[in-house]
Amino acid sequence: MSALLFTLLAAGGSFSAGLLGALTGLGGGIVIVPMLTLFFGVDLRYAIGASLVSVIATSSGAAAAYVKEGYTNVRVGMLLEIATTIGALGGAYLAGRIGTNAIAVIFGVVLLYSAWRSTKPLAEHVSTEHAHPLANTLRLNSTYPTPNGLQPYAVQAVPAGFGLMFLAGILSGLLGIGSGALKVLAMDQMMHLPFKVSTTTSNFMIGVTAAASAGIYLARGYINPSLALPVMLGVLAGALTGARVLAGANTKMLRRIFGVVVVVLALEMLYRGVRGGL
């Protein structure tokens, strides 16, 4: 395949992944690596490097729009980033130590989990009192804008959230994904942040977490410029387009279709990983 044709196909595929990821809320990052390895025959390490760069681009691109709305809890984000960056450094270190087949198996499991997770709508828990003692000490409690004015919220389970973020960081560094699903789970379900706050804060953290492992990936030669560029531009354009058309889209059907795609990719990654040869 010529470089020109490859660039166009990779950019087109990445655009679709970014678009579907934004429309379904699952994030495009998780399907980039399987798409590149399974359909384009790209080595897993180059695919992970390209995916990581695109994760940073979409996170920063979306955050530019989000922070203006005033939902991001920078203190919560910064505190949890200690956990995610240490995790990401560990994950990126591990990625160079364990074989690509083992990484493919872990990837398959994470994809299956994400697909399963997306079928179960989460309930929003917002507490106004009884914050975790650490949330008081670290001044994590804040307010967010609602139609009825600013509403205060109290942050729960700080140590448990911190622990889950460490795992999110490891997976991000190991697989080149944003681990957004895990981050949102820790923040809405454990720490009881309002959805709008957890989504935007998680997005803020994704870029920083990915940047922590990107340095190691760069130094190890996993970031191939001519591959990472079309993937990054495609995902970014897809995600920004998705965010624009989100209001009028029927996301229920899309979520189902995308869920099936994710499951198929997961099984294929598992199969390739177990059989070997990735």
Nearer to other proteins, 20 or 212 (CB): 212
Q: Could you count the other beta carbons within 10 Å of the beta carbon of residue 232?
A: 23
Q: Which of 195, 224, 241, 254 binds other proteins (CB under 8 A)?
A: 224
Q: For the chain, how many residues are written?
A: 278
Using the contact rule CB under 8 A, the part of the chain among 58-66, 110-118, 191-199, 257-265 near other proteins is 58-66
Which residue's CB is nearer to other proteins, number 23 or number 88?
88
Binding of residue 89 to other proteins (CB under 8 A)? yes
Q: Quick one: which of 227, 243, 262, 270 contacts other proteins (CB under 8 A)?
A: 227
Question: Residue 86, interface with other proteins (CB under 8 A)?
Answer: yes
Give the dihedral of Cα atoms 11, 14, 15, 20; nearest 10 deg: 170
Using CB under 8 A as the binding rule, the residues of this chain from 201 to 220 that contact other proteins are: 204, 207-208, 210-216, 218-220
Other residues' Cβ atoms within 10 Å of the Cβ of residue 218: 13
Question: Which is nearer to other proteins, 159 or 249 (by Cβ)?
Answer: 159
Q: Which residues pair with 143 in a beta bridge?
A: 152
**CA dist., res. 13 & res. 174, Å (int):** 23
Q: How many CB atoms lie within 10 A of CB 149?
A: 7
Nearest approach, Cβ of residue 36 and other proteins (Å):
8
Q: Is the dihedral of CA 38, 44, 46, 52 positive or negative?
A: positive
Compute the least distance from the CB of residue 62 to other proteins, in Å: 9
Q: Which of 174, 177, 228, 265 binds other proteins (CB under 8 A)?
A: 228
Contacts of 263 (CB under 8 A, 6+ apart): 111, 112, 115
Q: How far is the CB of 232 from other proteins (least distance, A)?
A: 7
Q: What phi-psi label fits residue 43: left (phi over 0), alpha (psi between -120 and 50 degrees) or beta? A: beta
Task: Tell me the per-residue interface mask from 91 to 130 with other proteins, x by CB under 8 A, - otherwise.
Answer: -xx--x----------------------------------
Backbone φ and ψ for 100, nearest 5 degrees, come out as -65, -30
Q: Taking CB under 8 A as the rule, does residue 247 contact other proteins?
A: no
x/- site string to other proteins, residues 154 to 193, per CB under 8 A? ----------------------------------------
- Smallest separation (angstroms) from other proteins to the CB of 153: 15
Cα-flanking dihedrals φ and ψ of residue 197, to 5°? -75, -45
Among positions 67, 102, 126, 157, the unique one binding other proteins when judged by CB under 8 A: 67
* CA–CA distance, 76 with 80 (Å, rounded to integer): 6
CA distances from 220 to 36, 46, 96 (A): 19, 11, 8
CB of 53 within 8 A of CB of 134? no
Applying CB under 8 A, the residues found at the interface with other proteins are 1-4, 6-7, 36, 40-46, 53, 56-57, 59-61, 63-68, 70, 72, 74-75, 78-79, 81-82, 85-86, 88-89, 92-93, 96, 138-139, 204, 207-208, 210-216, 218-230, 232-233, 236
